[in-house]
Amino acid sequence: MKSAVVAVAFLAGIGLLAGCQPAAQKAAAPKEKKVEPKKVEKKKSATERFRTALANQDKWQKACSNPNQLVPEGIDVETFRKEMLATVKFPPGGVLGKDVKRGEKLFGDPKKGGRSRRGNCYACHCGDPQILACGNIGPSLRGYGKRGIDPKDTYIKIYNSWAVVPCSVMPRLGYHGVLTPEEIADIVAYMHDPNSPLNK
């Protein structure tokens, strides 16, 4: 009985000490930070994004944004091509890359993964005769390296197709930064290599 009384007195004393602790010795409660509500930007509709893209076109894109995808009247074709050619950036090592295998992968792989980019040429062209699934929007590229085409012309066409055919439907892969100059050079190497599946 005596030990029970001592225990109760002990606990009461601790409670009393805790309650009488000076304010300075109490643990400072962390101050609540005011969190500003995030401004949620309203996602633009497809129509709004389209209108924004139309408003930001350069004069040549505006000229080509017509239903026929032909250069409209009043646009000088040679001036158009010269201005587009001036946008082409060539790689330091030349237009023929050294990595034919990478060129083959870039030519055919439609996936984008990490930092790597792809050409996805099979979406519009036929290439390796072993690959039957291919597009027909553009010409077949089977036997391309046997046609006597200058690799520099191939490079320019891939980098900015409008430098060759104004308002072409072919994507301007270098101009828009989809492929780097070095990646385009490797695709050109693949297309011109006599041992490439394209040329067998």
Kindly report the backbone phi and psi dihedral angles of residue 116, in degrees, each rounded to the nearest multiple of 5, phi listed first: -70, 150
Query: What is the signed CA dihedral for 185, 189, 190, 193, rounded to 10 degrees?
Result: 170
* Banded model confidence at residue 69, pLDDT cuts 50, 70, 90: low
* Banded model confidence at residue 143, pLDDT cuts 50, 70, 90: very high
Is residue 192 within 8 Å of 154, Cβ to Cβ?
yes
Query: pLDDT over 90 for what percent of the chain?
Result: 38
pLDDT at 166: 87
How far CA 56 is from CA of 52, 68, 161, in Å, comes to 6, 21, 20
* Banded model confidence at residue 65, pLDDT cuts 50, 70, 90: confident
9-28: average pLDDT: 50
150-166: per-residue pLDDT in tens? 999 999 999 999 999 98
176, 173, 167, 193: which is closest to 61 by C-alpha?
167
Angle at 85 (CA atoms; ends 63, 153), nearest 5 degrees? 120
Is residue 188 within 8 Å of 158, Cβ to Cβ?
yes
C-alpha 134/C-alpha 30 separation (Å) is 64
104-110: average pLDDT: 80
pTM over 0.85: no
**In the CATH scheme, what is the code of domain 69-199?**
1.10.760.10
